[in-house]
Amino acid sequence: MKGLPEFSEHRLGNGLRLLVGEARSLPMISFQIHFAAGSRYERPGITGITHLFEHMMFKGTRQVGAEEFSRIIQANGGSLNAFTTTDNTSYYENLPADRLDLAARLEADRLQNLLLTQENLETEREVVRSERKLRSVNSPFGLLVEQLVALAYEQHPYRWPVIGWDSDLRSLTLEDCREYHRTHYAPNNAVVVIVGDVLPDEALRSVERHFGPIPSQPPPRLTITPEKPQRGEKRAVFKKVSQVAAFFAGFHIPGIAHPDLIPLQILCVILSVGRSSRFFEKFEKPGKAVEAQAEVGYPPFFSMDPGLLQLSAVASPAISVDTLEKEIWEETEKLREQALPEEEVHKAKKQARSYFLQGLQTLFSKGLLAGLYQVRAGDFRLIYPLLDRYESVTPDDVLRVARQYLRPENRTVVTLQPASPKEHEELGKVE
């Protein structure tokens, strides 16, 4: 496919998987290492450890001092970061092509020789608690989404937030971190992706040299409890200081490898992507909703295990959130009554195709697509037919997935009710 390299696959003796994609538009590469480590592998009591550990990976090794990793990469013309999700922890360096070996050496070094100290843990614990305040506690809808997810899932680990509960963050120990490193940070639990101005042989040599000597580990014992089908609507109210009322809803849907994800994505495009979408025309344009959205994610950001189609709306001052919610369900109900016109589905398919191509413009995003499909769906090759899969969606497919997943019994709803500062305080501390 134009714009998406043919990734070649290599496997090291210790189980490390390497994917190499040649794309020569710039003399740059994106070097990525994705671990099958996400909050889905945690358990109550240590929630947030995956993400906290991501921070600890920058705190140095015997050869490289704390935060030196970042300094060295940037001083070589690179940029870098890492992110943790429910399903993976990923580290990346986007840098000049002739610095490939540097990235491989530094990543292999911290995989094998990470220094974990109590002092570093204490600093990063506070940094992460500050991050939690930024993303969840003090953000307008962060705690609302946490509540939605915690209510929608009763058993599966997706029920706690990736950043973890504050009480767990406060009590995590250095030994928890060491155990986490031993269990999840092994070559046989990782995928290295190198994409850009690179030759596969050169990439393989470099990765073999630096990662080859690292021993594999016994695979982690997985105890992930699946979620049972939901058999009736669940509802909750969340009160906090807010200028607006809103509701967030979630419908259980399948995971990344399931064929229904693509028609579900098309359904969400029909509902809320673009200014001719149903939600914009019916709710945002006439000023009923400040925003109204439906989303299942997009490739490669579909969840590994059954996820949620999230549908949310922020009421404008002109309408009550209850009325807005009722009207939105009337709108989604239409999708379940009869097949949509061919033209509307065709439009959504072209939108999805165009946005997919827009998303392939950087080496980083090309690498992410392959790497995350490998970690989350078990096969990076699933990325190649994605455009064809959009193309093959029919109005009947959209009708079928709407009927199957947008059922009220499959729905969880949390409503944000604005509270005064006094009431907010009386309801207890948020953290």
Contacts to other proteins from residues 231-250, by CB under 8 A: 240-244
Q: Does 116 bind other proteins (CB under 8 A)?
A: no
Q: Does 147 bind other proteins (CB under 8 A)?
A: no
**Could you give the 3-state DSSP secondary structure of residue 414?**
strand
Rounded distance between C-alpha atoms, residue 417 and residue 365, angstroms: 38
User: Least distance in Å: CB of 49 to other proteins?
Assistant: 17
Q: Does 358 bind other proteins (CB under 8 A)?
A: yes
Token pair belonging to 206 = 């470099």
Q: Does 104 bind other proteins (CB under 8 A)?
A: no
Q: Does 109 bind other proteins (CB under 8 A)?
A: no
The H-or-E segment that residue 309 falls in is strand 308-315
Residues 6+ apart with CB under 8 A from 164: 39, 42, 47, 48, 49, 51, 52, 128, 132
CA angle 51, 52, 55 (to 5 degrees): 95
Rounded distance between C-alpha atoms, residue 143 and residue 430, angstroms: 9
User: Least distance in Å: CB of 217 to other proteins?
Assistant: 29
Give me the residue label for tokens 């506690």.
137
Looking at the Cβ atoms of 44 and 317, the one nearer to other proteins is: 317
Among 225, 276, 320, 323, binds other proteins (CB under 8 A): 276
Structure-derived torsion over alpha carbons of residues 338, 344, 346, 351, reported in degrees to the nearest 10: -130
Phi–psi pair at 75, nearest 5 degrees: -70, -10
User: Least distance in Å: CB of 169 to other proteins?
Assistant: 13
Among 108, 195, 261, 363, binds other proteins (CB under 8 A): 363
Q: Which stretch binds other proteins (CB under 8 A): 12-20, 253-261, 276-284, 374-382?
A: 276-284
The interface with other proteins within residues 372-411 (CB under 8 A) comprises none
Among 351, 374, 410, 412, binds other proteins (CB under 8 A): 351
Query: Is-contact 139 149, C-beta < 8 A?
Result: no
The count of chain residues that interact with other proteins, using the rule CB under 8 A, is: 80
Please spell the DSSP secondary structure of 21-80, one letter per residue: EE--SSSEEEEEEEES-SGGG--TTSTTHHHHHHHHTTS-BSSS-TTHHHHHHHHTT-EE
Among 218, 223, 229, 275, binds other proteins (CB under 8 A): 275
Token pair belonging to 355 = 């946005």
* Helical axes 100-113 vs 200-211, angle rounded to 10°: 30
Q: Does 67 bind other proteins (CB under 8 A)?
A: yes
Q: Which stretch binds other proteins (CB under 8 A): 38-46, 69-77, 172-180, 205-213?
A: 69-77
Identify any residues that bridge with 195 across adjacent strands, giving them in sequence order. 21, 30
Among 355, 400, 404, 407, binds other proteins (CB under 8 A): 355
Please spell the DSSP secondary structure of 233-244, one letter per residue: -EEEEEEEE-SS
User: Least distance in Å: CB of 137 to other proteins?
Assistant: 6
The interface with other proteins within residues 150-169 (CB under 8 A) comprises none
Q: Which stretch binds other proteins (CB under 8 A): 134-142, 146-154, 175-183, 323-331?
A: 134-142
Residue 226, classified by CB atoms within 10 Å of its CB into exposed (0-12), middle (13-18) or buried (19+), is exposed
Q: Does 66 bind other proteins (CB under 8 A)?
A: yes
The interface with other proteins within residues 22-61 (CB under 8 A) comprises 25-28, 58
Among 39, 50, 189, 316, binds other proteins (CB under 8 A): 316
Among 82, 116, 137, 204, binds other proteins (CB under 8 A): 137
Among 21, 38, 48, 78, binds other proteins (CB under 8 A): 78
